[in-house]
Chains A and B, each alone.
Chain A
Amino acid sequence: MNQWKNFTKGFIKDNPVFVLLLGLCPTLGVTTSAVNGLGMGIATTFVLVCSNLVVSLVKNAIPDKVRIPSFIVIIASFVTIVELVMQGFTPGLFDALGLFIPLIVVNCVVLGRAEGFASKQSPISSILDGLGMGLGFAFALTLLGGIREILGNGSIFGLKFIEGDAMLVFVLSPGAFIVLGYLIAFINKIKKTA
């Protein structure tokens, strides 16, 4: 039961983007379309799960004082793996996400979970926590990307359903801030009534 809670809390209750407000840079930067959001979400989930697992395995071997730099090295190693894999297998997505792939290293969600959860809990709980948080992050990014794509481009997951131009501003940078602002307000409203 408790393990199940570790997994599900990332979706709505402790959603990293909508509630904890972590990792906003990639959230705003890459969500020009649903596919980009989903790709970024999956990449981050992979890094989160792996780094959570390794951190919780080595937590007793790391002296307290060098804890943060060690976590950063662990995270950076997995980010490099993701970078190389994406470059090799999904070059299109790699180009679309660009700078934001190496920047997963400084994504506060990843370091936050390593420091706040995995450094204290068992490996199994840490994996579930990483998976839940990662999928919650991916869900938030896909939702935001989907809304921006529908409004700004008249398409969803690349399938166009409106002929001609849509409200282009939503794909550009101002749209990211405005859509996320209203989404957070909406989620606050849901959480209050629920």
Chain B
Amino acid sequence: MEYFVIIIGSIFVSNIVLAQFLGICPFLGVSGKVSTSIGMSGAVLFVMTIATIVTWLIQTYILIPLGITFLQTISFILVIAALVQMVELILKKISPPLYQALGIFLPLITTNCAVLGVAIQTVSRDFNLLEGVIFAISNAIGFGLAMLIFAGLREHLDLMSVPKGMRGVPIALVTAGILALAFMGFGGLV
């Protein structure tokens, strides 16, 4: 039951993009096409899950025993940056097709605040490792869901006659606002 609450809560109720405003840059940047948004979501799912596991281990077995939790921000971002590089290298060797699909998105993920945000939330909410993994995966799914819906909407927006000043980013933001409004309907679900 506990896990169910985490899953539904992070995919729908407090969606990472539309309710918590994390990962807005890729959300606006690479959501022009449905195919690229799928690639980006896959890369985020991959990195977010691994990053959450590694940062959780660092927090529990290094930072807390040594009493240096104030180094949390620095150590987490370094781990994530190193991890992204490592994932990129490993993927290139082991699975070239997967690298082809996710490759260009991986470097962007280092500065994706969703990854760091989820890692910090996992430790600040005192999740155990399994809960943390589920939390990370469902947040990544929530990210993918928002990206996919938004990319679909934007593909249609390209065909609409939008007033001149609103073209491009402004209309995309207003659309995202309406999408966020729709997601608010999930409020109170859990």
Contacts and interface: CB of A to CB of B under 8 A. Distances in A.
Contacts of A167: none
B183 to A, nearest CB: 8
B113 A106 contact: yes
B109 to A, nearest CB: 10
Contacts of B170: 181-182, 184-185, 188
Given A111-B111, A175-B177, A21 B169 contact: yes
Interface stretch (B22-30, B37-45, B127-135, B151-159): B22-30
Contacts of A76: 73-74, 77-78
A169 B181 contact: yes
B116 A181 contact: no
Interface stretch (B1-9, B13-21, B58-66, B87-95): B13-21
A143 B25 CA distance: 21
B113 A173 contact: no
B74 A77 contact: yes
Given A25-B24, A177-B173, A178-B174, A103 B74 contact: no
B51 to A, nearest CB: 12
A108 interface: yes
Interface string B171-190: 11110111011001000000
Nearest to B170: A185
Given A72-B78, A103-B113, A180 B173 contact: yes
A107 B25 CA distance: 10
B24 A28 contact: yes
Interface in A158-194: 169, 172-178, 180-182, 184-186, 188-189
Contacts of B171: 181
B104 interface: no
B21 A173 contact: yes
A69 interface: yes
B36 interface: no
Interface of B: 18-25, 28, 70-74, 77-78, 81-82, 110-113, 116-117, 120-121, 124, 165-166, 169-174, 176-178, 180-181, 184
Given A177-B173, A178-B177, 4 more contacts: A106-B111, A175-B177, A177-B180, A188-B165
Sort A-B residue pairs by CB-CB distance and give the 5 closest, nearest first.
Answer: A181-B173, A177-B177, A178-B177, A29-B21, A185-B170
20 contacts: A25-B25, A25-B113, A29-B22, A69-B82, A72-B77, A76-B77, A80-B71, A80-B73, A99-B120, A102-B116, A102-B120, A103-B22, A105-B77, A108-B25, A169-B181, A176-B177, A178-B173, A181-B169, A181-B174, A188-B165
